[in-house]
Chains A and B, each alone.
Chain A
């Protein structure tokens, strides 16, 4: 018998076993689940043994030790440190000295944090902020210098309005931080000019609605998570808008999750119909 046919029958048997849980918990399901878990663990163990322990550690460390016995120093001897840390990690299995495993763990945590720090800061903070602050209007394909100037000034002013609004929200009405009257007047005048010019400008150029929605979502979402000020008045309103954005986000994520799980079901049923029963080509 073709080994592929045996494989397909085993796969079909286990697939149906897993699906049988939908009726109720049963030994067939337990058996299939145990095989799945055991197989996954075994595959990962074997893979990590050969790809990490053997390929990365043993093949580098072993020749280095041999060189040392011949009176030569090989930099790969530094892998000894990694080996010792690995052994220390396994001491978790010996409860009286299990605390030693925290040392290699701290190296792993520290190393990972260091590795991620700059990349996260650049990719997930700075560049994401850059993507969030988009031009408030859509740039036309061909644009004159007067329009270019208008676009730049307009964008700066729209951004200034948002910053000033934030300043008012956070500090302007706060009872603990009382700004001097000239400063408040300065903020107010800037806001007034910015609003006037911003309105004039936005009337002449098509708005970048997507960019504005993204900015509004981020801005209101951040306000929702700002707990140092009571969510009342304008601040409370913005926080409520923030919750709407969060709800839409969660809804979209849930919808995608349903689609993902359904795809896996379709994949298994497709396997049963095409490869096992062969009723569909």
Chain B
């Protein structure tokens, strides 16, 4: 703060140069209080979310859904709610679920998802018959490029080391073209974009995605011609959860809805940020006016 202004500093000037740590406290409270209260609001699904929901919902029982875990623990808070709700929806529709990862960090998250969601909530789902975990394979987009024509060239075993020929669910699959839908969870490289470029477009396989909010704007142009639908960040997760909850209230009444819960905290935090932007601008213009007045007085 300039000395001449500091000498005459009132509330206006002090607020203009407020310590940013106060802002952090406000943001922390904006996040903590809604989480403590456990609030959740209904969300209206946007067309791009609804498109992916409809695609999964309309798939007949026994259809093949490939879920690729293309993310790591750093983005898990944002991606995991989408993985959980889509997996629940797929299991409810009795789809055959194929799990894999093109990210090394995705493998452990695949196992975690199976242990925390699939096994306790859908005990009738049998490994090898209703779902399989193919695990992680190195190769990035090269891997996708190969398995679009020949799955078994890269996957001779599943994640547990079982021979792929001995897994009943794999007998119906020779390449990615046998999949009815691919959903990639991620947003980084390799991710949804690579699935579209190397599997969706050349193989004519429907590809959907669920990504971090930061990468969503880069992926929207692929919808609807090259991508079935997209869940962008926590907002997408909340919309999907809300729609599933409304459509199947009995099946999902007791399942957790982390997306919807986090969206409340998100909304409050956004309001706080917007208020600070408005407040900061008002303070700036008032301060500038006062500073001009001081200069004129001199």
Partners in one complex: yes
Cβ–Cβ contact B262 & A279, under 8 A = no
CB under 8 Å from chain A, chain B span 70-126: 74-78, 104-105
Contact of B202 among A119, A124, A269 (CB under 8 A): A119
Contacts A123-B197, A130-B225, A256-B217 given: A47-B104 contact, CB under 8 Å?
Answer: yes
Contacts A47-B104, A51-B138, A122-B202 given: A263-B226 contact, CB under 8 Å?
Answer: no
Set of chain B residues within 8 Å of A280, measured between Cβ atoms: 35-36, 38
Set of chain A residues within 8 Å of B175, measured between Cβ atoms: none
Binds A, one of B5-13, B49-57, B228-236, B279-287: B228-236
Interface presence of B32 (CB below 8 A): yes
Cβ-closest chain A residue relative to B261: A270
* Size bracket of the A interface: 35 or more
Cβ–Cβ contact B221 & A128, under 8 A = yes
Set of chain B residues within 8 Å of A273, measured between Cβ atoms: 32, 35-36
Set of chain A residues within 8 Å of B28, measured between Cβ atoms: 269
Set of chain A residues within 8 Å of B31, measured between Cβ atoms: 262, 265-266, 269
Interface presence of A264 (CB below 8 A): yes
Contacts A43-B104, A115-B142, A119-B201 given: A260-B226 contact, CB under 8 Å?
Answer: no
Contacts A256-B233, A262-B269, A266-B266 given: A127-B213 contact, CB under 8 Å?
Answer: no
A interface majority secondary structure: helix
Cβ–Cβ contact A127 & B201, under 8 A = yes
Cβ–Cβ contact A249 & B217, under 8 A = yes
Most B C-beta atoms less than 10 A away, residue of A258, A266, A270 = A266
Set of chain B residues within 8 Å of A120, measured between Cβ atoms: 197
Contact of B216 among A23, A131, A249, A256 (CB under 8 A): A256
Contact with B along A126-156 (1 / 0, CB 8 A): 0110110000000000000000000000000
Interface presence of A268 (CB below 8 A): yes
Interface presence of A56 (CB below 8 A): yes
Cβ-closest chain B residue relative to A127: B226
Cβ–Cβ contact B232 & A256, under 8 A = yes
Cβ-closest chain B residue relative to A120: B197
Cβ–Cβ contact B225 & A131, under 8 A = yes
CB under 8 Å from chain B, chain A span 20-61: 22-23, 43-44, 47-48, 51-52, 55-56
Cβ–Cβ contact B214 & A122, under 8 A = no
Chain A nearest Cβ from B128, distance in angstroms: 22
Contact with B along A237-275 (1 / 0, CB 8 A): 000000000000100110011111111111111110100
Chain A nearest Cβ from B89, distance in angstroms: 21
Set of chain B residues within 8 Å of A23, measured between Cβ atoms: 21
Complex formed: what's the CA distance from A258 to B270 in Å? 9
Chain B nearest Cβ from A75, distance in angstroms: 14
Cβ–Cβ contact B78 & A263, under 8 A = yes
CB under 8 Å from chain A, chain B span 265-298: 265-266, 269-270, 273
Contact of A48 among B138, B142, B200, B221 (CB under 8 A): B138
Chain A nearest Cβ from B200, distance in angstroms: 8
CB under 8 Å from chain A, chain B span 57-74: 74
Complex formed: what's the CA distance from A267 to B138 in Å? 28
Interface presence of B196 (CB below 8 A): yes
Interface presence of B141 (CB below 8 A): yes
Cβ–Cβ contact A115 & B141, under 8 A = yes
Set of chain A residues within 8 Å of B196, measured between Cβ atoms: 123
4 more A-B contacts (CB under 8 A) besides A23-B21, A51-B136, A264-B75? A52-B138, A265-B269, A266-B31, A269-B31
Q: List 26 A-B contacts (CB under 8 A).
A: A47-B104, A47-B138, A48-B104, A116-B197, A119-B198, A119-B201, A124-B197, A128-B221, A249-B217, A256-B213, A259-B270, A260-B213, A261-B214, A262-B31, A262-B266, A263-B78, A263-B212, A263-B234, A266-B77, A266-B266, A266-B269, A269-B32, A269-B35, A270-B35, A280-B36, A281-B38
